[in-house]
């Protein structure tokens, strides 16, 4: 079965620096890989989607890469701000109906 691994330790980073999060999976490469943000007590919020044939996707200060050879996606937050503090979840598309399998998430804490 597909396993998804994200850094379990919180990432503490200083404001203005780049945060880099890792998502590794074990088996087949999904057609899509997504990143969501989740704040305490709230539902996840979609950030970015990258297809298996795309190497990189950007949205404002966010960048996602997808390496199907390494079975890995990297998520970057550049010029990080305290408002970026949250848990970031990696999700793999499991079927054509949109079923997602999520990683456990990585907490990011940005200090001023």
Determine, following the binding rule CB under 8 A, whether residue 112 of this chain makes contact with another protein.
Answer: no
Locate tokens 């950030």: which residue? 47
Contacts (CB under 8 A) with another protein, residues 78-107:
89, 91, 93-94, 97-105
Contacts (CB under 8 A) with another protein, residues 45-64:
45-46, 49, 51
Q: What is the CA radius of gyration of the chain?
A: 13
Q: Contact letters (x/-) for another protein, 11-50, by CB under 8 A?
A: ---------------------x-x------xxxxxx--x-
CA distances from 36 to 1, 39, 78, 96 (A): 22, 10, 16, 19
Q: How many residues does the chain have?
A: 112
């Amino acid at each position: 079965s597909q396993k998804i691994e994200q850094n379990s330790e919180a990432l503490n980073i200083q404001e203005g620096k780049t945060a880099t999060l890792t998502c590794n999976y074990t088996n087949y490469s999904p057609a899509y890989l997504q990143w969501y943000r989740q704040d305490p007590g709230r539902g996840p919020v979609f950030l970015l989607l990258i297809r298996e044939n795309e190497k990189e996707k950007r949205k404002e200060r966010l960048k996602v890469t997808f390496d199907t050879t390494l079975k890995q996606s990297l998520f970057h937050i550049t010029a990080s701000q305290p408002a970026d503090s949250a848990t970031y979840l990696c999700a793999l598309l499991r079927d054509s109906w949109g079923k997602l399998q999520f990683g456990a998430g990585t907490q990011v804490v940005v200090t001023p």
